[in-house]
Chains A and B, each alone.
Chain A
Amino acid sequence: MTLVLLAVLAWCAGWWINSRLANSPAAKTRAVQLLVPVIFGVTILVVWELLVRGLEVSLVILPAPTLIAERFASSLPILWQDFAQTFLKGALSGYIMGCGAALLMAVAVDRSDFLRRGLLPVGNFVAALPIVGTAPILVMWFGFDWQSKAAVVVVMVFFPMLVNTVAGLRETSAMQRDLMQTYAASYWQSFFKLRLPAALPFIFNGLKISTTLALVGAIVAEFFGSPTVGMGFRISTSVGQLALDMVWAEILVAALAGSLFYGVIALVEKSLTFWHPSQRR
Chain B
Amino acid sequence: MKSFLAVLTVVATIVVIWYLACIPMNIKGVLDAAERAEEQVMPATAKERRNASALGLVAKNTFAINRVWSVERPRLPAPHQVAQELWKTTVQKKITSKRSLIYHGQVTLSATLLGFVIGTGLGILLAVGIVHSKVMDMSVMPWAIVSQTIPIIALAPMIIVVLYSIGVQGIIPKAIISAYLSFFPVVVGMVKGLRSPDAMQLDLLKTYSASTSQGFWKLRLPSSMPYLFASLKIGIAASLVGAIVGELPTGAVAGLGARLLAGSYYGQTVQIWSALFAAAILAALLVALLGFIERNVLQRMGMSA
Contact = CB atoms under 8 A, between A and B. Distances in A.
Contacts of A227: none
Contacts of A18: 135, 138-139
A62 interface: yes
A41 B75 contact: no
B158 A220 contact: no
Contacts of B199: none
A216 B141 CA distance: 22
Interface residues of B, number: 59
Question: Interface size bucket, A side?
Answer: 35 or more
Nearest to B241: A130
A36 B6 contact: no
Contacts of A15: 135
Contact of A134 (B150, B249, B256, B276): B276
B150 A235 contact: no
| Chief secondary structure at chain A's binding surface | helix
Interface string B42-80: 000000000000000000000000000000000100000
Contacts of A129: 237, 279-280, 283-284
A122 B11 contact: yes
Given A132-B244, A258-B151, A239 B284 contact: no
Contact of B138 (A22, A244, A254, A258): A22
Interface in A226-244: 231-232, 235-236, 239-240, 242, 244
A211 B151 CA distance: 9
Contacts of A134: 276
B146 to A, nearest CB: 6
Chain B at the A interface: SS class:
helix
Contacts of A239: 157-158, 160-161, 249
A19 B138 CA distance: 9
> Counting chain B CB atoms within 10 Å of each CB, which of A36, A115, A244 scores highest?
A36
24 contacts: A18-B135, A21-B138, A22-B139, A27-B138, A61-B162, A61-B166, A118-B6, A118-B7, A122-B7, A128-B237, A129-B284, A130-B240, A130-B283, A132-B241, A137-B276, A219-B153, A223-B248, A224-B261, A224-B264, A235-B158, A236-B249, A239-B161, A259-B149, A263-B149
A133 B264 contact: no
A247 B139 contact: no
A60 interface: yes
A136 B261 contact: yes
B243 to A, nearest CB: 9
B155 interface: yes
Contacts of A216: 151, 153
B273 A137 contact: yes
* Most interface-central of B3, B11, B276 (chain A CB within 10 A): B276
